[in-house]
Amino acid sequence: MGNGDGESNGPSLNSVRSPDRFGKSSQHFTRTMPDMTIIPRSVRVMMTMVAATAAFGSVRSQDAKGGAGVDKNMIVVTGSAEVRAVPDLARINVGVVTSAPTAAAALAENNSAMNALFAVIKAQGVADKDIRTSNLSVQPQYSQPQPGQRGEFVPRVVGYQVTNTVYVTLRQIDKLGPMLDVLIANGANQVYGISFDIDKADELLDKVRGQAVADARRLAELYCSGDKVKPGRILQIEESGGDFGPRPMMDKMVGMRAMAMAAPAPVAAGESSLEVRVRVAFALEARD
């Protein structure tokens, strides 16, 4: 497999990486919750204080339907809270690249290799729902000028390259190392983007969403402490995404069959941090 002298791959498509944030379609499967430690913290504070008096200006808000509402005196802050947990999912983007003089031959060789790879993956106990095609491409390979060649050079198609990769979810992280060995030993020559995820992440985040709002109120109280006003009822809450994507372990391609001959690859999932950030607008009220 590969090119001979004087040949090179033509332009190729980038491998398609599956969603890096807990997609709703593929993360709610495990039956046990990971151990966790809830840690509230403040990441960023953004405050705007306005009023109709000399100390405050006027801010116009909108109602839930998007229409214009009445002017309100408010303070807007951002609060946050964090939960840490040990990942309980591992994801691998793995596949086969084949080359041949014709597209049909390259496809046939690739199909045969991928069918064998599918059988190996399923034999390791991976369910059909946890195997998803992430990239399938057919690209021409072009000739390249020889060293010292003079005159006009016109590239010509000398073959075709087929890439087929699948996204595999493992629900037992301790099987990741042995799985890599088995895949490479059975024809996989492309391994991309190994990462760790937390199943049922939303359930963990729900436990700290209230703490994020409480953190926002604490900050609002702090910034109003030297004035004659205080934060009152909540006018609006907006949640923004935190840094709670999967932890990448390996983004570069692994193409070494020798790995299958060594001891199982060591794997350490470590600990991941999930964060909730909320932007909260509080009405300003006079202090008692």
The better pLDDT of the pair 58, 226 is held by 226
- pLDDT, tens digit (0-9, with 9 covering 90-100), for 208-229: 999 999 999 999 999 999 888 9
Please tell me the pTM assigned to this model. 0.54
As a whole-number percent, the residues of the chain with pLDDT over 90 amount to 45
The better pLDDT of the pair 31, 165 is held by 165
Question: Please, what is the end-to-end C-alpha distance for the chain in angstroms?
Answer: 80
Q: If you average pLDDT over each of 32-46, 138-152, 240-254, 261-275, which comes out highest?
A: 138-152
- Is the model's pLDDT at 262 over the cut of 50? no
- Is the model's pLDDT at 284 over the cut of 60? yes
Q: β-strands 74-85, 36-40: how paired? A: antiparallel
What's residue 214's pLDDT?
A: 95
What's residue 271's pLDDT?
A: 77
Q: Hey, what domains does the chain have and what are their CATH numbers?
A: 7-32+86-146+153-200+247-272 (3.30.70.2970), 39-85+201-243+275-286 (no CATH)
- pLDDT, tens digit (0-9, with 9 covering 90-100), for 225-261: 988 899 999 999 999 865 444 444 444 344 433 333 3
Neighbours of 54 (CB within 10 A): 6
Q: Is 217 exposed, middle or buried (0-12, 13-18, 19+ CB in 10 A)?
A: middle
As a whole number, mean pLDDT of residues 103-108 equals: 96
What's residue 189's pLDDT?
A: 93
Closest CA to 1 of 109, 104, 93, 108: 109
